[in-house]
Amino acid sequence: MNKVRAWIAAARLRTLPLSISGILVASGAAAKVDAFSLPIMVLALLTTLGFQILSNFANDYGDGVKGTDNADRVGPARALQSGLLTAKELKRGMIVTTVLTLFLASLLIFIAFGNENFILSVVFFNLGIAAVIAAVTYTVGKRAYGYRAMGDLFVFVFFGLVGVLGCYFLFTQKISDLIILPAITIGLLSAAVLNLNNMRDRLADAKVNKNTLAVVLGEKPVKLYHCLLILVAFLCALVYAFFKGEPWLGYLPMVAFIPLFLNVIKVFKSQSPPLLDPELKKVALSTFLYAALFFAIAMF
């Protein structure tokens, strides 16, 4: 495998549809109030992809140098673990990705606020800095929060609340009362993807003291937690559609929960953690389907 393919593998393309789901939902919600802007949407998508790729590089690096990625690992081989990229190369990749992403974030903030609102520009740039720190410190450093059962919380906050509410504010420069509901939906479904990953790796992580929430809760409670994530996400999406007074077409995004409920059944029946690996893609793509339908109907 050449270096280009190694970097593509380290970027983990299969995680990217999930990362843009919040932007699609925020864009759709903005379209419903006639506040949609294509330049803002495009820059928000590129910025979000930058943060996700940075997180993937950092995760590869952090787990690699800590020895967490070893022969016991169930999922796809990592770049550092496999020797495709060195730790030094991954560090450089993280630096370049950070610079490019913050540049995109600056353009996004300027287009959204211009020169007229310096305070909001500073607030959103600091949110970008916080996103960089969160992306890196998930597995990097002695106090990496991914090793302290806090990964789910950070994913919920940055993929859901910050991703949806923040992007919606860039479009409208205000927050409506109901936008919090789809933000919670995206945040919980994103946490469900991480939880599946952690359930898959639970036994291997426990051996190397990576205390994810799956390790802390144990086999049966973490399955109940997973069910709760999907169920509450569904209820929030349903309540949003109801109180928005959507016509029947507005409920179409709910079809994305059919494979999600099937996933819950699969999780409860599964007795082998490796069998959960294909479920990650299913939940991530179902989340993307919900967001894509949400956006498409709003633009219709």
Distance of CA 126 to the CA centre of its chain: 19
Q: Is the pLDDT of residue 268 over 90?
A: yes
Q: Is the dihedral of CA 138, 141, 147, 149 positive or negative?
A: negative
Model confidence over 135-185: pLDDT tens digits?
999 989 888 898 899 999 999 999 999 999 999 999 999 988 799 999 999
Q: Can you tell me the distance from the alpha carbon of 284 to that of 17, in angstroms, rounded to the nearest whole number?
A: 7
Which pLDDT score, from 0 to 100, does residue 45 have?
97
* pTM across the whole model: 0.93
